[in-house]
Structures are given as structure tokens and as C-alpha cells.
């Protein structure tokens, strides 16, 4: 038997003994299989993948103008000159009416957004919805009166490591480009891009400009939205990350329903990872699952019967490896009804039905601070359950939290960060945004501020 015949027989044998769930997947069984083409898939997909161009005006200021002597002799007063700043990305048409999904970071801060179709036509677009927690945005083409080609969503929970995928986008602005590879890993959680750490990893070449483009499976369905790369050089090194289609589907559904934000289920419990030391203490064979560190009174978790030290191991029949996996699974559940959660409690399995409802958003009291103080340019909010959920805070936390910072504003320049909790200003306790507004109206030379960041209290003195 020749080597080729032997290898062919071996591959056929392996395919015949594969598990039942993998019978629709096979490795090439002959040289003829290697001559197969992805062209039919590409021809189906390409019309629905678009280029996204975002532009914004930024002020350019010469740092020498900050020197009063320079200004005296050389002038330069008045408004700094403006310059157009452009960014490039990709997008995917997900509704025939002209809805396009892309990444938030592609269109963030844009004054103007344009979409270029595969046939070279261009449309201005409006931003329908931005969901910073998932880094997904939905655009709508303006003045369009036709039905556009779209991509259907794949069920990203059915993807397997080793599945062939195609990445389509506009890398480096060279034009629409197709690359292929496999799914290298699923449920990547240590990426640090979005709130929901649960990414598809692929070795299909993804480069700058691919952000927002399509990752499609072998049937031509949308498996994910290409979002980031791991690179030491700025180019593709075979490690790219995509947001799973099941998360994309949730954001698109919110946009179609007319929502300006994405409403997701709220658990009302703080979870922590199971370390090897914790696993040993609990008598676990493996350090997996999500350990309940606290439960908010009257929350869905509390009403379902979730308790401190419960170990969540499964949600609706899907295993939970860590808190990130649970957060993603729970966030993709539709509101209404319940979700079944399996927990390990005192050596036995307990099944709980958790109501799927959004976090209460009462008394947010959001305020943008504009007075000339160290807080100028900061947007602050009371810590409602919804705010606590968005910023991963304990809902029992007291104080006022920074929810946004304007670029180059005083608050950003002195070091405030999103998520900082302000407890006191000049010995005045801050419990509501109205307290902080009142404190910033006072004219003082020295500011004594107490801030909590990452669970650590920081005492700051500014001015003087």
C-alpha cells in the first residue's frame, strides 16, 4: 500500500469513528478535496460587508501658545485651528432596510459617518445605538430606498475549535479583503477589550481596518464581528478576536426595537473566580465555576434563592467555567421568563430559576460638571443598581461615581478615571450628585477629595 493510499485510508477511518456531533465535519479525504474553493461563500457574503468611514473635527493647539511670553511676541490668541481626523473600519449589513453593525471604537466621537458598499456606492449614516459594554454599534443608512443584502446570524454557541472561518473587511484601507483560517479558541476571557470577556479567537488574518467586519462560518452565516488583534508589530500575527454572533444579535435586536440602549438581565450578585486554593478548600476536582461573593437584597438572585458561597456551574444546560463565561451567557438571555442556574451547595446540586429582568435605574441623577474645579468635564451619577451593574460595582456601594470624562478636561488631566467613587470633598460627605454639585460651587484654593478606586480608598489634595 502506498503512503498516499495509507493516509487516505487512515483519514477515512478517523472520520468514520468521530463522535456523532461532529459527523457533519470532516478532514480532506483526497487530493481532490484540497482543490475545493470558498468562492461561492465569498460571493454570497461580500455584498453584505461594508466599509465604514468616520470623521470628527479636533482642535490642534501649539503647546508654545501656553507660554504668555510667546503669545505676547508672536500672537496666537483666539480659537485653536481645527483639523479633520478620520478613522476607517468595516461593518456588516444585518437588516435589508439598511442597518449596519460595527464596533463602537470605529465610530466613537465621530461628527460624520459614511458607509461604502461593496459596489462602491456611498451613503451617509446615522448612529442608531452605541453599546460600549460590548463595543458594538448599529448604524442606519440615510436616504436609502431599497433592500440591501444581509447576513444571517449563526449560533455562536455551536462553533467548535478547528471550524473553518473567513474574515472579511477592509484592512489598511486597501479594499475589501478575504482571509481564511480556523477557530483557534472559544470563550477567550483575558482580552480586556469589553465588559463581556468572551471572544472567539481565530488565526484568519485580521489587520487594522478589519474592525467591525464579518467573521463567517463555512455556511456563510455571521459567526462574529472582528474586533481586535494581538500584535507586537501592528499587523496580523495570527491571533485575532471576534465578538460572538449571539451577543451581536442582542444588540441588533435592541436597535430594531427602537431602543437607545441595550437592556440586559440583571443578576444582582457579585461573582468571583475559583482559584486553585479556593478549589482545594471547597474540595473541588477542578478550579472552575463562578463563586457567589455577595447577593443584593430583593434582586433576581436573592428571589431565586442564590446564597453566599454558592458555586454556579451551569446556566440553561451550558457549563460555566468562570464569572466571565456566566456574565456573557446571562447577558445574551432575552428579558422575560427565567433562566435555570445549577449551583453546588454543601456538596449537592441545587437548581434555581432566576427571573430575567433589567436592573432598576431609578434616581440615577446623572450630572455633567462644568464649573472651573478639578471635577470639570466629569459626568457623575448616583449608584443605582443599573449603574452598579454597568460599572461592576457592588450595588450596596455608597457615594457618587464618575461615569464619563471629556477628553482633555480638567477632571481627566488631574487623574480622575471612569468608575471612581467620590466619597467626600473638603470634609463634606458626598452621597448624591446634588451634594457634589453644591460642593463644586464653592470657591476654594485647595481641594481635599476622598476617592475609592478598585476597592482602595485614596485621599487626594489638589491646588494650594
Gap between the Cα atoms of 383 and 302, Å rounded: 19
Our separate counts of H helices and E strands in the chain read: 11, 25
Cβ neighbours of residue 37 closer than 8 Å, sequence gap 6 or more: none
Gap between the Cα atoms of 204 and 238, Å rounded: 6
CB-based contact 88:51 (threshold 8 Å): yes
CB-based contact 227:297 (threshold 8 Å): no
Q: Choosing from 135, 203, 314, 420, which is the catalytic residue?
A: 135
CB-based contact 55:82 (threshold 8 Å): no
Q: Choosing from 87, 105, 116, 203, which is the catalytic residue?
A: 105
Q: Choosing from 211, 236, 299, 395, which is the catalytic residue?
A: 211
Active-site residue flag, 211: yes
CB-based contact 401:381 (threshold 8 Å): yes
CB-based contact 204:167 (threshold 8 Å): yes
CB-based contact 107:140 (threshold 8 Å): no
Active-site residue flag, 105: yes
Active-site residue flag, 44: no
CB-based contact 213:178 (threshold 8 Å): no
Which letter, b or e, does each residue of 256-289 get, where b requires 16 or more Cβ atoms within 10 Å of its Cβ?
A: eeeeeebebbbbbbbbeebeeeebeeeebeebbb
List residues with catalytic annotation: 105, 135, 211
Amino acid at each position: 500500500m502506498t503512503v498516499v493510499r495509507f493516509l487516505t485510508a487512515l483519514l477515512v477511518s478517523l472520520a468514520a469513528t468521530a463522535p456523532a456531533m461532529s459527523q457533519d465535519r470532516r478532514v480532506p479525504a483526497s487530493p481532490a478535496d484540497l482543490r475545493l474553493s470558498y468562492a461561492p461563500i465569498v460571493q454570497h457574503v461580500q455584498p453584505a460587508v461594508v466599509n465604514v468611514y468616520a470623521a470628527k473635527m479636533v482642535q490642534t493647539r501649539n503647546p508654545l501658545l501656553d507660554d504668555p511670553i510667546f503669545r505676547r511676541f508672536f500672537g496666537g490668541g483666539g480659537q485653536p485651528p481645527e483639523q479633520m481626523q478620520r478613522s476607517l473600519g468595516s461593518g456588516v449589513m444585518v437588516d435589508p432596510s439598511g442597518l449596519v453593525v460595527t464596533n463602537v471604537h470605529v465610530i466613537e466621537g465621530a461628527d460624520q459617518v459614511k458607509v461604502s458598499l461593496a459596489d462602491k456606492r456611498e451613503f451617509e449614516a446615522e448612529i442608531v445605538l452605541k453599546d460600549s459594554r460590548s463595543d458594538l454599534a448599529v448604524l442606519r443608512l440615510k436616504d436609502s430606498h431599497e433592500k440591501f443584502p444581509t447576513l444571517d446570524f449563526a449560533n455562536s454557541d455551536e462553533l467548535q475549535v478547528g471550524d473553518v472561518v473567513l474574515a472579511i473587511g477592509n484592512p489598511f484601507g486597501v479594499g475589501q479583503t478575504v482571509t481564511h483560517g480556523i477557530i483557534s479558541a472559544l470563550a477567550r476571557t483575558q482580552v480586556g477589550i469589553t465588559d463581556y470577556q468572551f471572544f472567539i479567537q481565530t488565526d484568519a488574518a485580521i489587520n487594522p481596518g478589519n474592525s467591525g467586519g464579518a467573521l463567517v462560518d463555512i455556511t456563510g452565516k455571521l459567526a462574529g464581528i472582528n474586533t481586535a488583534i494581538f500584535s507586537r508589530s501592528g499587523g496580523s500575527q495570527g491571533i485575532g478576536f471576534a465578538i460572538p454572533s449571539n451577543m451581536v444579535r442582542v444588540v441588533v435586536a435592541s436597535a430594531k426595537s427602537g431602543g437607545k440602549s441595550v437592556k440586559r438581565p440583571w443578576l444582582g450578585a457579585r461573582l468571583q473566580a475559583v482559584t486553585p486554593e479556593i478549589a482545594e478548600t471547597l474540595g473541588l476536582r477542578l478550579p472552575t465555576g463562578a463563586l457567589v461573593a455577595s447577593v443584593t437584597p430583593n434582586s433576581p438572585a436573592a428571589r431565586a434563592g442564590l446564597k453566599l458561597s454558592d458555586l454556579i456551574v451551569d446556566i440553561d444546560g451550558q457549563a460555566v467555567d468562570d464569572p466571565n463565561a456566566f456574565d456573557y451567557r446571562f447577558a445574551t438571555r432575552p428579558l422575560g421568563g427565567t433562566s435555570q442556574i445549577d449551583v453546588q451547595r454543601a456538596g449537592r446540586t441545587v437548581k434555581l430559576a432566576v427571573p430575567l429582568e433589567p436592573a432598576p435605574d431609578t434616581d440615577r441623577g446623572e450630572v455633567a460638571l462644568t464649573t472651573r474645579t478639578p471635577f470639570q468635564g466629569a459626568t457623575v451619577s448616583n449608584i443605582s443598581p443599573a449603574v452598579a451593574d454597568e460599572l461592576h460595582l457592588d450595588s450596596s456601594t455608597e457615594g457618587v461615581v464618575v461615569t464619563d470624562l471629556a477628553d482633555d478636561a480638567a477632571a481627566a488631566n488631574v487623574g480622575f478615571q471612569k468608575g471612581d467613587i467620590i466619597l467626600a470633598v473638603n470634609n463634606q460627605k458626598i452621597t448624591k450628585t446634588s451634594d457634589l454639585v453644591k460642593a463644586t460651587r464653592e470657591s476654594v484654593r485647595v481641594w481635599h477629595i476622598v476617592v475609592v478606586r478598585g476597592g482602595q480608598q485614596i485621599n487626594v489634595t489638589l491646588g494650594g
